[in-house]
Chains A and B, each alone.
Chain A
Amino acid sequence: MSKLRIDARFAALKAAGRPGLITFVMAGDPDGDSFEAILAALPGAGADLIEIGMPFTDPMADGPAIQAGGLRALAGGQTMVKTLAQVDRFRARDQATPIILMGYYNPIYAYGVERFLADAKGAGVDGLIIVDLPPEEDDELCLPAIAADLAFVRLATPTTDDRRLPTVLTNTGGFVYYVSITGITGAASPQAADVAAAVGRLKRHTDLPVAVGFGIRTAEQAAAIAATADAAVVGSAVVSLIAEAAADGLRGKVLAERIAGFIATLAAGVRAVARAA
């Protein structure tokens, strides 16, 4: 079912003749109830797939916005158990929107790999993106995840050359996440032309959908990137907006509406990119 939910969503996007929008939010940010309200509002606002960050104290590939989001969540008492329970409650209401958990290995390792995979699957998680598990460490989590029918979505980067690409694509499931810049999340914005060339290169090596992220902040950028890829990922910009709105005192449904408004503009940008089915 898991991989199928991601596959079905990309198939539906293709049939609709448009690219997808993937949004990233940090679990438990700024607090558990507000996070659940935001999560619940994302599909209606136009998020086609959802990445949920699992907070970690030492997120070495993330920029300031997502670092701060993780620390806000941890300060509020977020744990892996809570994250999985939040996904479970989301899934009870929405059986179609794929959920991909994104983060670092240590919280999963501490939870226990077998237990994590069973609980994630049970909660309705569809895929995993684990930043610090390259193919060289596949037996840690990637292979057990595949055996548990969870997609292991791999990151490909500008430094992943043609020689290495087959290694990266082996065991990758659901889609390929192309990191459009060398750098951390939320840093420099990618050049659409470079991304188009990179996506073309990936497409020569795989039939999987290609999503592109890192540094996409506006509806215009999302549209430009989505024009060349199967989906655009927006993360830091969403997390920054949550930080601003939370600092203004917004919580719960009011905060969720503010975030949904931004997601809707991103979705409108992406959906304006029509292409031949």
Chain B
Amino acid sequence: MVQAAPAPNSYRAMPDARGHFGLYGGRFVAETLMPLILDLEQAYRDARQDPSFQAELDYFLAHYVGRPSPLYFAERLTAHCGGAKVYFKRDELNHTGAHKINNCMGQILLARRMGKRRIIAETGAGQHGVATATVAARFGLPCTIYMGATDIERQAPNVFRMKLLGAEVVPVTSGSRTLKDAMNEALRDWVTRVDETFYIIGTVAGPHPYPAMVRDFQAVIGTEARAQMLEAEGRLPDSLVACIGGGSNAMGLFYPFLDDPGIAIHGVEAAGHGIETGAHAASLAAGRPGVLHGNRTYLLQDADGQILEAHSISAGLDYPGIGPEHAWLHDVGRVHYHSVTDDEALAAFRLCAEIEGIIPALEPSHALAQVLKMAPALPSDHLLLMNLCGRGDKDIFTVAKALGVSL
């Protein structure tokens, strides 16, 4: 549908000054928010150039989040596949159980720097909501989390966790009552209390500078993994695999490797019940470019530009769009995008628990399912690195239901 552009000199030079990744990205927001978006962009630019900001972030990442996360050789999974040597980047071991807190820590330090007095966020699976509520509690800022009413039902443990952390969880009953509607409601809150509020967006989407800023805060994943792989194997990995909803864990892993031409990079979207059924969340595979939530990207939409509801067993992938940088990397062909069904992800989830003793979240179970497809055909000296971006404690009720087990 979209013609591939010639390969750029660097895949790491985006976005441009207006926040565009090729055709994608931008700042499609109401005028009320525009002055704030410009302030945020300036504040972020200043913070990046301030060594004391980075030092403070590094301190909290090390002592509060628990970074660096380990690089782990999944020996039994490797033997099971009988091909590539499979490594996990263990971001599920972070405080709060996923990669989400890397970004939340960066943004809350920025919020403090900007003198904001109140934090809001949207959440789907609840991982970003928990991470946001956590950093808000740590820094003593009141926090409101918008969450679709449907997601509140299927992610009850995370809802309770957020409340324990002192956050107000607001059920969103408009639209499809899931992540996209939670994002609409958070934007409505922001537009109403714009001066005092900092909106911590949880993925590499939204108006510029969010996609670049969230990527930068998550790039700690790939930066660490580079050094760890050099230490473990004396060379860089041959391929990378990560799951994608909005795509923040994937951008975090991929970004530091984009300009290494020998490294194959694979993103995995959620195919839900199967692309052909229409019940999926694969915006690259089955969507087309459109504008939603402040950016242009691939969206699941009908012929009239109305947004369709996504489906995935994983609430964290259940979103009808994708970060604009992924849309661009897809079009220019630097990253290969695949899709994995609910059933394939469930099978990978169970296998990982049984042979590695790690219960992964349903989101990276999609990445693992892709690894299981690729690894057997690859040679034994092929280094395959997968981002295990979250742990599965939050998903046990969903998985039990899918397996017909009552707890």
**Taking beta carbons and an 8 Å cutoff, which residues of A are in contact with B?**
56-61, 63-64, 67, 71, 74, 79-80, 104-111, 131-137, 154-161, 164, 168, 179, 182-184, 187
A111 to B292, CA, bound (A): 15
Q: Out of B174, B192, B304, B307, name the residue touching A67 (CB < 8 Å).
A: B174
List residues of chain B with CB within 8 A of the CB of A182: 32, 191-195
29 A-B pairs in the complex with CB atoms less than 8 angstroms apart: A58-B184, A58-B292, A58-B293, A58-B307, A60-B293, A61-B32, A64-B174, A67-B175, A80-B305, A104-B291, A106-B292, A106-B299, A107-B304, A107-B305, A110-B290, A132-B30, A132-B294, A134-B27, A134-B30, A136-B34, A137-B27, A158-B32, A159-B31, A159-B33, A159-B35, A160-B35, A182-B193, A183-B188, A184-B192
- In the assembled complex, the CB of B387 is this many whole angstroms from the nearest CB of chain A, namely 29
Interface residue? B218 (CB, 8 A): no
Q: Mark B190-218, 1 if CB is under 8 A from A, else 0.
A: 01111100000000000000000000000
List residues of chain A with CB within 8 A of the CB of B33: 159
List residues of chain A with CB within 8 A of the CB of B175: 57-58, 67, 71
Once the chains bind, are A187 and B192 in contact (CB under 8 Å)? yes
Given contacts A106-B290, A159-B36, A60 and B305 within 8 Å (CB-CB): no
Once the chains bind, are B304 and A131 in contact (CB under 8 Å)? no
Interface residue? B18 (CB, 8 A): yes
- In the assembled complex, the CB of B281 is this many whole angstroms from the nearest CB of chain A, namely 16
A160 to B32, CA, bound (A): 7
Once the chains bind, are B32 and A106 in contact (CB under 8 Å)? no
The CB with the most chain B CB atoms within 10 A, among A58, A131, A135, A184, is that of A58
Once the chains bind, are B32 and A179 in contact (CB under 8 Å)? yes
A109 to B304, CA, bound (A): 9
Given contacts A58-B293, A109-B291, A183-B32, list 16 more A-B pairs with CB under 8 A. A58-B175, A58-B181, A58-B184, A60-B30, A60-B293, A106-B301, A110-B305, A131-B30, A154-B31, A159-B33, A159-B195, A160-B31, A183-B188, A183-B192, A184-B191, A184-B192
List residues of chain A with CB within 8 A of the CB of B32: 61, 155, 157-159, 179, 182-183
Interface residue? B97 (CB, 8 A): no
- In the assembled complex, the CB of B277 is this many whole angstroms from the nearest CB of chain A, namely 20
List residues of chain A with CB within 8 A of the CB of B304: 79-80, 107, 110-111
Interface residue? B52 (CB, 8 A): no
A61 to B184, CA, bound (A): 8
Q: Mark B28-61, 1 if CB is under 8 A from A, else 0.
A: 1111111110000000000000000000000000
Once the chains bind, are A106 and B291 in contact (CB under 8 Å)? yes
List residues of chain B with CB within 8 A of the CB of A131: 30
Q: Which residue of A lies closest to B35 (CB)?
A: A159
- In the assembled complex, the CB of A25 is this many whole angstroms from the nearest CB of chain B, namely 19
List residues of chain A with CB within 8 A of the CB of B174: 64, 67
A132 to B174, CA, bound (A): 19
Interface residue? B303 (CB, 8 A): yes
Interface residue? B180 (CB, 8 A): yes
Once the chains bind, are B31 and A179 in contact (CB under 8 Å)? yes
Query: Number of residues in B with C-beta < 8 Å to the partner?
Result: 38
Interface residue? B68 (CB, 8 A): no
Once the chains bind, are B31 and A155 in contact (CB under 8 Å)? yes
Q: Mark B160-198, 1 if CB is under 8 A from A, else 0.
A: 000000000000001100001101100110011111000
- In the assembled complex, the CB of A114 is this many whole angstroms from the nearest CB of chain B, namely 15
- In the assembled complex, the CB of A236 is this many whole angstroms from the nearest CB of chain B, namely 13
Once the chains bind, are A56 and B29 in contact (CB under 8 Å)? no
**Secondary structure class of chain B's binding surface, majority of residues:** mixed
Q: Out of A111, A155, A161, name the residue touching B35 (CB < 8 Å).
A: A161
Q: Which residue of A lies closest to B188 (CB)?
A: A184
A200 to B183, CA, bound (A): 35
Interface residue? B392 (CB, 8 A): no
- In the assembled complex, the CB of B374 is this many whole angstroms from the nearest CB of chain A, namely 35
Once the chains bind, are B305 and A108 in contact (CB under 8 Å)? yes
Once the chains bind, are B30 and A111 in contact (CB under 8 Å)? no
Interface residue? B252 (CB, 8 A): no
List residues of chain A with CB within 8 A of the CB of B192: 182-184, 187
Q: Which residue of A lies closest to B194 (CB)?
A: A182
List residues of chain A with CB within 8 A of the CB of B303: 110
The CB with the most chain A CB atoms within 10 A, among B18, B32, B188, B194, is that of B32
A5 to B151, CA, bound (A): 48
Interface residue? B306 (CB, 8 A): yes
List residues of chain B with CB within 8 A of the CB of A159: 31-36, 194-195
Once the chains bind, are B18 and A107 in contact (CB under 8 Å)? no
A57 to B307, CA, bound (A): 6
- In the assembled complex, the CB of B196 is this many whole angstroms from the nearest CB of chain A, namely 11
Interface residue? B245 (CB, 8 A): no
Once the chains bind, are B305 and A106 in contact (CB under 8 Å)? yes
- In the assembled complex, the CB of B394 is this many whole angstroms from the nearest CB of chain A, namely 26
Given contacts A136-B18, A182-B192, A183-B191, A107 and B30 within 8 Å (CB-CB): no
A80 to B301, CA, bound (A): 14
- List B residues 295-326 near A (Cβ within 8 Å): 299, 301, 303-307
Q: Which residue of A lies closest to B296 (CB)?
A: A109
List residues of chain B with CB within 8 A of the CB of A61: 30, 32, 187-188, 191
Interface residue? B26 (CB, 8 A): yes
Q: Out of A79, A137, A161, name the residue touching B28 (CB < 8 Å).
A: A137
A132 to B18, CA, bound (A): 15
A74 to B306, CA, bound (A): 9
List residues of chain B with CB within 8 A of the CB of A108: 305
